[in-house]
Amino acid sequence: ETLANQIAAGEVVERPASVVKELVENSIDAGSTKIIVKIEEAGLKYIEVTDNGSGIEKSDVALSLKRHATSKIKSHSDLFRIRTLGFRGEAIPSIASVSEFTIETSVAEEKSGTKLVAKAGVISSIEPMDKRVGTKITVANLFYNTPARLKYIKSLQAELSHITDIINRLSLAHPEISFTLINEGHEFMKTVGNGDLRQVIASVYGISTAKKLRKVEASDLDFELTGYISLPEFTRANRNYITLLINGRFIKNFLLNRAILEGYSNRLMVGRFPLAVLSIKIDPQLEDVNVHPTKQEIRLSKEKELMALISKAIDNALSEGVL
């Protein structure tokens, strides 16, 4: 099983940022309102994610290291209406198999918490501990036992920017959650978690950027669209400032990006791209997330209709929208 986990790790945990993503998504799935991420050496030396979520029951802590032991899918039909970010039960076993891993967790209903320590996926101890709120997971010396993977990490600076990108997108997706990123002991980014997307944009991209936005709102029978876009005179040189969220999940979709640009039409200079944070709510039946383990690409039914709605909403926001 350790080998199977290391193989899965090749797919699920490509780099430190993938570990951060999977751990933070678990914290989100656990209903946390406060998530703190600490990293050292761009996550290669140390990653710590602390949350105030539901925690893991004593009897389930060891199970979370087993493959496909997800608590999030209970029936076959759940697979077709996924509401949580995780559902494959692959992340924790994969991450644990390529690191020195600890979980400290408690649930409200139990008198004590649990601390689990594992090395290269093998549990070295599970003991009761003092009760805490939620869960703290630490990942030290990532890839120490898979040197080939370690070699593939070339620049710490690039890894750090992958991590900040992940935290930024997850913060934009969840204005109701307070995120803190601490790098080498210094606070790098923090969102307040009061539900105000414009404030998250200010924390992520700066206050002056957040002042130059238009609000977008539109809906039809199948889709509900909300968010902010930059005014055409405050656009950027690349498309990394576009964040598309479908049912709270950050996705990449070429056609929907194109729909955003079409909404700007001739207002946009050639080679310029908007900053946009668009959150789209759809019936989970219209999306199929089960395409790739990292779940960034998704298939959508009624994609054409959604494109038209996006373009029109953006055009409206730019012609008459409120600041």
The yes or no reply on residue 121 touching ligand ADP (CB under 6 A) is: no
Instruction: Specify the residue, 87 or 143, whose C-beta has the smaller distance to ligand ADP.
Output: 87
> Nearest distance from residue 89's CB to ligand ADP, in Å?
4
Looking from the CA of 151 toward its CB, the CA atoms found within 13 Å total: 3
Residue count, binding to ligand ADP (CB under 6 A): 21
Residue nearest to Mg ion (CB): 86
Q: Where are the alpha helices (DSSP H) in the chain?
A: 2-12, 16-29, 58-61, 91-97, 147-152, 156-173, 197-205, 207-210, 254-264, 303-320
Give whichever of 292 and 304 is closer to ligand ADP, judged by the CB atom. 292
CB closer to ligand ADP out of 113 and 274: 113
Should residue 135 be labelled a site residue for ligand ADP when binding is judged by CB under 6 A? yes
The burial class, CB within 10 Å (0-12 / 13-18 / 19+), for 307 is buried
Binding partner at 34 among ligand ADP, Mg ion, none, C-beta below 5 to 8 Å by kind: none
- For residues 72 and 190, which CB has a smaller minimum distance to ligand ADP in the complex? 72
Give 1 or 217: the residue with its C-beta nearer to ligand ADP.
Answer: 1
Tell the smallest beta-carbon distance from residue 262 to ligand ADP (Å): 36
Question: Which of Mg ion, ligand ADP, none has residue 5 at its interface (CB below 5 to 8 Å by kind)?
Answer: none
Exactly one of 86, 121, 227, 274 binds Mg ion (CB under 5 A); that residue is 86
How far from 194 is each of 28, 41, 60, 199, 221, CA to CA, in Å? 15, 31, 32, 9, 29
Tell me the C-alpha to C-alpha distance, in Å, between residue 170 and each of 24, 151, 221, 276, 319: 8, 28, 27, 14, 30
Coil vs helix vs strand at 217: strand
- The rounded distance, in Å, linking the Cα atoms of 127 and 251 is 39
Query: Exactly one of 5, 6, 26, 52 binds Mg ion (CB under 5 A); which one?
Result: 26
Judged by CB under 6 A, the chain residues 48 through 107 that form the site for ligand ADP are 51, 53-56, 64, 70-72, 86-92
DSSP code string of 274-319: --EEEEEEE-GGGEE-TTSTT--S-EETTHHHHHHHHHHHHHHHHH
Contact 48, 180 (CB under 8 A): no
Give which of Mg ion, ligand ADP, none residue 55 binds (C-beta under 5 to 8 Å, depending on kind): ligand ADP
For the bound state, the minimum distance from the C-beta of residue 199 to ligand ADP, rounded and expressed in Å, comes to 25
- Interface positions with ligand ADP (CB under 6 A): 22, 26-27, 30, 51, 53-56, 64, 70-72, 86-92, 135
